[in-house]
Amino acid sequence: MSVQDGNQGIVIAIDGPSGSGKSSTAKGVARARDLRYLDTGAMYRALTWWMLDHGVDVEDAAAVAALVEQPVIEMGTDPSAPTVTVDGRDVAAEIRGKDVTGSVSAVSAVPEARALLVRTQREVIEAARRESAGIVVEGRDITTVVAPEAPVKLFLTASPEARAMRRSKEVRTSDVAATQADLARRDKLDSSRAHSPLTQTADATELDTTGLSLDEVIGLVVKLADEAGQARQA
Ligand SMILES: Nc1ncnc2c1ncn2[C@@H]1O[C@H](COP(=O)(O)OP(=O)(O)OP(=O)(O)O)[C@@H](O)[C@H]1O
Ligand SMILES: Nc1ccn([C@H]2C[C@H](O)[C@@H](COP(=O)(O)O)O2)c(=O)n1
């Protein structure tokens, strides 16, 4: 059996704060080992986009809760070309805008929104496993709620300064301080909400990526995945 065979049906769960490198790492690992990829943050962003597009006050949890079932959110899990659609419309660009980023923590704190999206995320994971494909899933509650039984569980971190520098470079802003403040704002909301807050648990391997290149981080995670695959084969 090859290393790839050991990874068949594997679930790699990655959590961590904003800008720690979850999406880039998850995509790189999925590409390296021919796995599927699920960006759960994009699902919360897609739901938020729909709420804003329909004029819903996202600070009104009851209003959000009443409408969560309305949009049809679909995720494409090819790590080289992930997609996100709402009611058939490609919203990949819109969900990265300031309005959605400013409102997504409020929507993701609504229990009905979480229940719905966690259910959908588990369905995507099961579909991948039925096809014998493994999947890398990243977000804030993957190791704790969505897939706590995953054989590989990681908590990615990086210093606030490193995360702000990386994100500023990505969005081409020189205002690193403002970027750092926005990351801190979202981390605080995501870690302090009542339902499924971002939490680091003892059974998830912490990976501090501050001094590491993206390729180095991907290499470390691939190694962990291969070791878990070999243990599954033994
Ligand atoms: N180890 C690394 N070294 C340098 N840059 C990195 C590293 N990891 C990720 N990056 C870069 O940092 C930026 C943020 O990474 P990414 O979007 O993967 O983080 P994230 O944790 O998924 O963020 P969010 O939770 O906000 O979606 C990207 O531009 C990415 O290319
Ligand atoms: N599993 C998840 C994934 C994401 N969220 C929330 C919290 C984030 O601020 C927001 C956007 O995620 P990002 O695109 O920055 O990864 O979505 C969550 O609550 N649970």
* Domain with 83 in it: 10-228
The domain that holds 117 is classified in CATH as 3.40.50.300
**Does residue 108 sit within a domain?**
yes
If you take atom 18 of ligand 2, which residue's CA is the nearest one? 140
The response to whether 28 counts as a known ligand-binding position is no
Backbone angles phi, psi at 195, to 5 degrees: -105, 125
What value of ipTM does the predicted structure carry?
A: 0.98
**Does residue 134 sit within a domain?**
yes
For the chain, the domain total comes to 1
pTM for the full predicted model? 0.97
Buried b (16+ CB within 10 A) or exposed e, 42-55: bbbbbbbbbbbbee
Task: Give 135's strand partners.
Answer: 11, 36
**Does residue 233 sit within a domain?**
no
The response to whether 229 counts as a known ligand-binding position is no
* In the predicted structure, residue 1 carries a pLDDT above the cut 60: no
**Burial class of residue 189 (count of CB atoms within 10 Å of its CB; 0-12, 13-18, 19+):** middle
* In the predicted structure, residue 4 carries a pLDDT above the cut 80: no
Q: What is the mean pLDDT of residues 136-149?
A: 98
**Does residue 4 sit within a domain?**
no
Ligand 1 closest atom vs CA 140: 25
Q: Please, where are the H alpha helices in 144-175? A: 160-171
**Does residue 234 sit within a domain?**
no
Q: Ligand nearest 26 Cα, by number?
A: 1
